[in-house]
Structure 1
Amino acid sequence: MLNRTSRKLRAATVAVLALLVLGGCAQGLGGGAYSRTEARRAMMVQFGTIESVRGVQLEGTKTPIGSVAGAAVGGIAGSGVGGGRGSAVAAVLGAVAGGVAGSALEEGATRTPGVEVTVRLDNGQYLAVVQADGGESFRAGERVRVLRDGGTTRVSR
């Protein structure tokens, strides 16, 4: 019995560690974060003045890893309930509940604060950019750069 409990505990620990590693892999979406593919690529630069800034929440990641890890933990925990058919039913129910919980846990753990920055460009156009709160505290009236490459837009000083 102790050996079986020990194996379940190890499996649950591995699943939780997988979720933590996943959270650490979340890519930065702030004005100073660049992906590898953006290196050595020309960007159009425009200048403008910040009109407004408001805080927003960037939703977390929704990969299968959270669901799978949660299902594994829930299935293992459920299989220890009852015996025979009851154990199998509890394992299935535990896996389903664990999958839902794991997905919600992953999304919540990787959710990050962001900012919506509205900029009046020097040509008179308005542009709103949502990006992760990368530590830059923008203020209305401040002059900024807007960088665009056709797919990514960011605001920076």
Structure 2
Amino acid sequence: MVMDMRQRAVAAAFAVAVLGLGLGGCATGLGGETYSRGEARRAMTVQYGVVESVRYVKLEGTKTPIGALGGAAIGGIAGSGIGEGRGAAIATVIGAVAGGLAGSAIEEGATRSQGVEVTVRLDNNQLMAVVQDDKGEDFRSGDSVRVVRDGSTTRVTR
């Protein structure tokens, strides 16, 4: 089955839409108010303290095969429309490789977010820094906070 340019454009647009939905599904909450399903019904240790300092940081985006595969599909479709015979096959491969690299970079950039590093002086005078998503809480020096830990996850909340 040979596709004309319009059919290829529609297929590419569909692939981009599917990729976008996939990226949206990969987004996870890294803030103090977000818990994973596995953290439910798990005992956690709570300590109290005071915010010493707050520093804004960047949380890198996700790097799953979804971005690379979606980009490779789009690049392969786009490349297949270039040339004929052997030239089209080479353009398809080059398009798929370039699309895969671009799709991976787009996924990482689209899922990157603003984070915050909160340094807390606990009631036992120990200092602890916790990095989490910047959504929800607006921490300031001097704020009284809770530090919640379960052995692998730590979060700062009010």
User: Normalization by structure 1: what TM-score?
Assistant: 0.95
Partner of residue 83, structure 1: 84
Residue-pair matches, total: 156
Taking the aligned partners of 1:98 and 1:3, their CA distance within structure 2 comes to 19
Taking the aligned partners of 2:108 and 2:22, their CA distance within structure 1 comes to 10
1:21 is displaced (CA, Å) by 1.2
**Is 1:121 aligned with 2:115?**
no
Q: Is the deviation greater in 138-147 or in 15-24?
A: 15-24
Partner of residue 8, structure 1: 8
Partner of residue 99, structure 2: 98
Question: Where does 1:5-154 land on structure 2 (aligned, <5 Å)?
Answer: 5-25=5-25, 26-154=27-155
The one-letter amino acid of 1:30's match is G
The one-letter amino acid of 2:98's match is A
- Structure 1 runs of 4+ aligned residues shifted over 6 Å read none
1:41 is displaced (CA, Å) by 1.1
Q: Which runs of 5+ in 1 are unaligned?
A: none
User: Normalization by structure 2: what TM-score?
Assistant: 0.94
Taking the aligned partners of 2:118 and 2:62, their CA distance within structure 1 comes to 22
Tell me the secondary structure at the aligned position of residue 4 of structure 2. Answer: helix
Taking the aligned partners of 1:9 and 1:141, their CA distance within structure 2 comes to 56
Taking the aligned partners of 1:97 and 1:7, their CA distance within structure 2 comes to 21
Cα distance change on mapping 1:124 and 1:115 into 2, 3 Å: same
Taking the aligned partners of 1:19 and 1:51, their CA distance within structure 2 comes to 41
1:3 is displaced (CA, Å) by 5.1
Q: Which runs of 5+ in 2 are unaligned?
A: none
Q: Is the deviation greater in 13-22 or in 123-132?
A: 13-22
Taking the aligned partners of 1:82 and 1:115, their CA distance within structure 2 comes to 50
Contact 2:75–2:98 (CA under 8 A) maintained in structure 1 = yes
